[in-house]
Amino acid sequence: MTLPDDLAPLRRKIALACRILANAGLAEDVLGHVSVRAGPGTMLVRCRGPREEGLLFTVDEDVRLVDFEGKGDDLDPWAVPNELPIHAELLRARPDADVVLHCHPPSVLLAGVEDIPLRPVFGAYHIPAARMAVDGVPVYPRAVLIRRPELGRELAEAMGGSAVCVMRGHGITTLGSGEHAVEQAVSRALSLDTLARVSVERARLGDRAAVLPAADIAELPDLGSSFNDLNVWRHHVARLRLAGLTLD
């Protein structure tokens, strides 16, 4: 992903991502943030300003350019997230990632603390979520606030090479790469939420479902990012418009 000279469209896209997460129920009130790698040691990240109103009401100006220590001329009077090390340490540890997303879906909280497995029992209902269950989702087991670099490194280590992670008692982190990195990170967060929601509902019903047979898993093709990520993104942008939450 090459960063454009004019950062305005990227600020806008990050602001939309924050609104989408909140509008889809993956973020309670003021907690959660999204970043984009902006160059060696710098990122654009959703910060908190003096009139902070929560993720659902993010505006372009909330997205600021800072270095990995959270410093930068662009910042004041905004403040970087307490958990900036989530972004800094993952952008450091994962050169393949251009975007880091962190939020708190209630479904994932429940699946995490109650140790509910995220098993592949459905298929064409939601192929990206099904494939995530097949691949497995790593768990970072500590419910701590990631406000120090060493905690961010612990998280990155737990995440390994995966693009998604359950943070038990806390939330999730997802990554995105390439031209549609923001859309991809959002789409992965939505898929993980779908997987967790179905898994929690199934746990309430006895968790009797059989794992899909290999022959059926083979009939669940990756439909590609332009199908999965861009269509899902446009859908959620349209939902923002319907809710009176558009930024245009």
Binding site for a second copy (CB under 8 A): 28-31, 48, 51-54, 56-57, 82-83, 104, 106, 109-110, 113-116, 121-127, 130, 142-147, 151, 167, 169-171, 194, 198, 200-209, 212, 216, 219-221, 223, 231-232, 234-239, 242-245
For residue 12 the two structure tokens come to: 């806008």
Minimum distance from residue 219 beta carbon to a second copy (Å): 4
* Exposure string over 205-231, b if 16+ CB within 10 A, otherwise e: eeeeeeebeeeeeeebeeeebeebbee
Residue number, 94 or 131, with CB nearest to a second copy: 131
150 classed as catalytic: no
- Give min distance, CB of 42 to a second copy, in A: 25
Nearer to a second copy, 135 or 201 (CB): 201
Cβ 166 to a second copy, closest distance in Å? 12
Smaller CB separation from a second copy, 8 or 242: 242
> Which residue lies nearer to a second copy by CB, 37 or 70?
70
> 2 to each of 17, 45, 93, 177, how far by Cα in Å?
19, 17, 19, 11
Q: Which is catalytic among the residues 28, 53, 61, 83?
A: 83
What minimum distance in Å lies between the beta carbon of 162 and a second copy? 20
* Residues annotated catalytic, as ranges: 83
